[in-house]
Amino acid sequence: MTQNIININMKPTLLVLAAGMGSRYGGLKQMDGLGPNGETIIDYSIYDAVHAGFGKVVYVVREHFKKEFEELVAKKYSHVKCTDGTPLEFVFVTQELDKIPEGLHYNPERQKPWGTAHAVLMAKDVINEPFAVINGDDYYGRESFGVIAEWLRAHAGTEGRYCMVGFELDNTLSESGGVSRGVCSSDEHNVLTHVEEHHNISKDAAGEVWGDNAAGERVHLDAKTPVSMNMWGFTPDYFSKSEAIFRDFITRNLNELKAEFYIPYAIDCMIKDGSAQTELLSTPSRWFGVTFKEDRPGVVAKFREFAEQGIYPSPLY
């Protein structure tokens, strides 16, 4: 087996999915100040990514708040430098319902974009290097960025080999309501064999975890099973593979108003057709986020604790 050689000079890109409307949370949670000095979750992710060696941040946003987002970024991060001393680069792309491959059509009554894998495709013209994908409203932890950055540097120049940082399902649940997670299965080599999106995942009165599978069936889930929190590592060839799957997805869902093209779905298609393999990476970090507004106090307390323990500087920037 050929051993991958880590390119220590290669700076991967961080792709932040920040186009979500935050309807369950009650506002644009990507801009919500949760840290002791008003830091957002994205602020912590960028801080950790920079220290892991990332060199560029690409935001996927919606057109109606793109200008406000750009102004906030320019004000907050203008002085931030990469580990080699160069300025951290920022790029903005937008996800809108009508941004689909040429020649395709959809139900005019549809109102929302096509999901996370569609959001990633919005960056295909601005990313030419290995990149990590994260949600803008999830905290992944410093170790997670270190793990994925090392993997990306080791796979620069390869094709058809991706990775995902998995978190234990029990560590990703919300006490405020059901959540959606990509439930993962892997082989003895830690290569993903299946990813299935489950919705409305929650614990029952006995502490058992249940969720709705792709067929809409309520099923029992192992609390320790690894799940996708949308922390993926890709090489640029992912874009062409994913777009081909997206074309087929839209063709089969022309009249659907809510069908979404998720990253786990795209990856699962690649697993099944053999066009790519995805390595399941582990992390000692504990995930947390603000899926619902009721989650906010706990996250605020956690960031205050980080500051008090000196895990992060305060203020962060």
Band (pLDDT 50/70/90 cuts) for residue 2 is very low
Q: How many distinct structural domains can be found in the chain?
A: 1
The predicted-structure confidence for 91-146, as pLDDT tens digits, reads as follows 999 998 888 888 888 878 887 888 999 999 999 999 999 999 999 889 999 999 99
Binning pLDDT at 50, 70 and 90, where does residue 5 land? low
Q: pTM of this prediction?
A: 0.88
Q: For 194-206, give the DSSP string.
A: EEEEEEEEEE-TT
Q: Is residue 52 part of a domain?
A: yes
pLDDT digits (tens, 9 = 90+) for 212-253: 998 899 999 999 999 989 999 999 999 999 999 999 999 888
Mention every residue, 6+ apart, whose C-beta is less than 8 A from residue 81: 50, 87, 88
Pairing of strands 13-17, 131-135: parallel
| Structural domain of 230 | 13-308
Calculate what percentage of the chain has a pLDDT beyond 70: 94
**Structure confidence at residue 19 as a pLDDT band (50, 70, 90):** confident
Residue 27 lies in a domain: yes
In a domain, 313, yes or no: no
Q: Is residue 8 part of a domain?
A: no
Is 245 within the bounds of a domain? yes
**Burial label, 35 (beta-carbon count in 10 A; 0-12, 13-18, 19+):** buried
In a domain, 2, yes or no: no
Q: With respect to residue 6, please indicate whether it lies within any of the assigned structural domains.
A: no
Supply the CATH number for residue 128's domain: 3.90.550.10
Q: Report which of 187, 180, 182 is spatially closest to residue 165, judged by C-alpha positions.
A: 182
E strand or H helix at 277, and its extent?
strand 277-281
